[in-house]
Amino acid sequence: MIEIIALFFLLRDLGNLANKKGQPQTRWIILGLVNWVFAEMMGIIIGLMIFSVNNLISVLIMGLMGGFAGYHLTRIRLNKFPDKGKKDDIDYTF
């Protein structure tokens, strides 16, 4: 349950950042959600391979870490866009 609440706030932050960058909010929120779910599933699979089914807490923690990694990869990709209304650095060179 706490994961869903955290995901809500993280995706809202991603939407605000997309708005600041001049990108469509819905696209980046959906992309962040898809990346979270995919990376979480990959984290669970890797956790099952490293640990076993006997150590379920460690497997779930690996899945949660994978979810946060998927969110951060989306955020890093979005941060590469220039801010809305900001000129490029090439305009300020001599």
Q: How far apart are CA 71 and CA 14, in angstroms?
A: 9
Q: How far apart are CA 24 and CA 18, in angstroms?
A: 6
* Whether residue 90 has pLDDT greater than 90: no
Its pTM stands at 0.83
At 17, is the pLDDT very low, low, confident or very high (cuts 50, 70, 90)?
very high
| Rounded alpha-carbon distances, angstroms, from residue 41 to 3, 24, 27, 61, 92 | 14, 26, 21, 11, 45
Q: pLDDT, tens digit, for every residue of 19-77?
A: 999 999 999 999 999 999 999 999 999 999 998 888 899 999 999 999 999 999 999 99
The two tokens of residue 35 are: 């990346």
Diameter of the chain by CA atoms? 64
Amino acid 89: pLDDT = 61
Query: Domain coordinates of the chain in residue numbers?
Result: 7-79
